[in-house]
Structure 1
């Protein structure tokens, strides 16, 4: 028994060392098992239509809760944190704001490449292992797994919070059929703070730990493909792609430190954008400015819609 335990611990140390060598800030391990506590929460959230028009959120319900349906014989979930907090926030000078995670290259590709290298190293160093890598691209409840793996707690704004670096980071997972030594969860440190709830201009956090995705600025500026409801005009605070408000006000983000990933750095052209540049942006400029960027998800027409929505409010205020 002790021999088996020492093998698990040695494997786990190997994997955590690999994670650090590849630039991941934290690595946590949890047992791949059915998420029994999450099932009623997810069902309730969906039944209340808090996913809005994001129909894909209702798909693959069982897979979201059971990792063995994603990887046969899954035994462990490796959860990883990768920092994206920028050296400088150029949003204030640009007149229009995009979420910090989208300043540089699309994280899906950057982190997916790292995960592939990671998984190959596991096979090279430990042996033949069956598994899959994930970075916000499959029905995986990444924040729940990160919480179970001891990487932090899920805050009142629905994001994973880490005591040492806040929440400006990406989460990624490797689900595999390799048994490892598991980490335990950490305590919730939100306390009585409600800054994220109080600051949300669209009331997308109606109660602690519940986020109404259908009211979130990120949802309206990225996921929603139709017209933005007029009732939310004036609530946007100049956001045209995503939103960082609930993170910017979170006290734990005083511990955020600039990332070291060159691919996440914004181009000089993007940093120099001014209000008139956004208003006059063409399809060609959009494609050049956001080549390989997550902003491409909203497409040129979507970004123009978002800018126009903000300007309609400004135009109305001017008339008054």
Structure 2
């Protein structure tokens, strides 16, 4: 094997050892085809109040501007599909599945740090950084280039073996690694299940989502009041939304994750609508201590629940 092939083999085996479900490799470089698409998306104001998505335009398209001398983007998939949906007989409030347990940033960041340590022990000094939804990296596009899936009509990466209930993470490194073959085929075909099911009509065209209409944006990113135009359209989602994934036929292949840190807090299953509406700072801190739900703070979560109950 060439050194690049040996590096690829080491990276794939390390990914498996650390619990990642899939690992793919792409050659680092400018995402030429994505530049006009990103520009059009931003010009359409589909980022809403997420102004940070317009920042670092060049870095977002070119990983060599994030890691000097970068040669390789390693894309990683980590499953978060739960054994059971969080539900209660006395509540119809819903949370996105990714937010059931501990914040994925913490869980996957630990694994990425360990990943880099292993590579440095085996190969020697490597310059690189790990990313998990924490920097201007077009993670879905890199995962597609690495052969891990294709971009669905809901703009999410879809994988034929496990659907889309997974996190993406990347290692951008200055190591020469044999790249994988990009997945060129779109396996969605004529299916429009996600487009048809979105209650706020956020999927404006194939692969293009108006973020300012997405329930995840409205319940997490939006800091102002939720516009009244969305009354009756939120389908009881208080943090995030899984609708376009729940209806996707490819998610019939989803299997329960094996990550203990993603298990929901035991008290959550017993929450009633009244518990949600009357949640205190003490309860919020206890139940969502290490959760992604903390992003909304208590005031944001109460705003969301109050909006749902005022419908």
Larger relative helix fraction: 1
Partner of 1:146: 143
Conservation of the 8 A alpha-carbon contact between 1:157 and 1:205? yes
Conservation of the 8 A alpha-carbon contact between 2:127 and 2:174? yes
Partner of 2:43: 47
Partner of 1:126: 123
Matched, 1:63 2:59: yes
Partner of 1:27: 23
Partner of 2:299: 301
SS at match of 1:150: coil
Matched, 1:89 2:82: no
Unaligned runs of 5+ in 1: 314-320
SS at match of 1:268: coil
The whole-number CA distance in structure 2 between the counterparts of 1:210 and 1:43 is 12
The whole-number CA distance in structure 1 between the counterparts of 2:87 and 2:46 is 29
Partner of 1:77: 73
SS at match of 2:75: strand
Conservation of the 8 A alpha-carbon contact between 1:97 and 1:239? yes
Deviation string, structure 1 residues 251-271 (Cα, Å, up to 9, x no partner): 000000000000000021012
Deviation string, structure 1 residues 87-133 (Cα, Å, up to 9, x no partner): 00023643100000000000001100000000100000111110000
1:243 to 238, 241, 244: 241
Would you say how many aligned residue pairs link Structure 1 and Structure 2? 309
The whole-number CA distance in structure 2 between the counterparts of 1:245 and 1:125 is 43
Partner of 2:214: 216
Partner of 1:288: 286
TM-score under structure 2 length normalisation? 0.98
The runs of at least 4 aligned residues of structure 1 exceeding 3 Å deviation read 91-94
Matched, 1:169 2:148: no
Q: C-alpha root-mean-square deviation of aligned residues, in Å?
A: 0.8
Conservation of the 8 A alpha-carbon contact between 2:144 and 2:157? yes
Unaligned runs of 5+ in 2: none
Shift of 1:6: 1.9
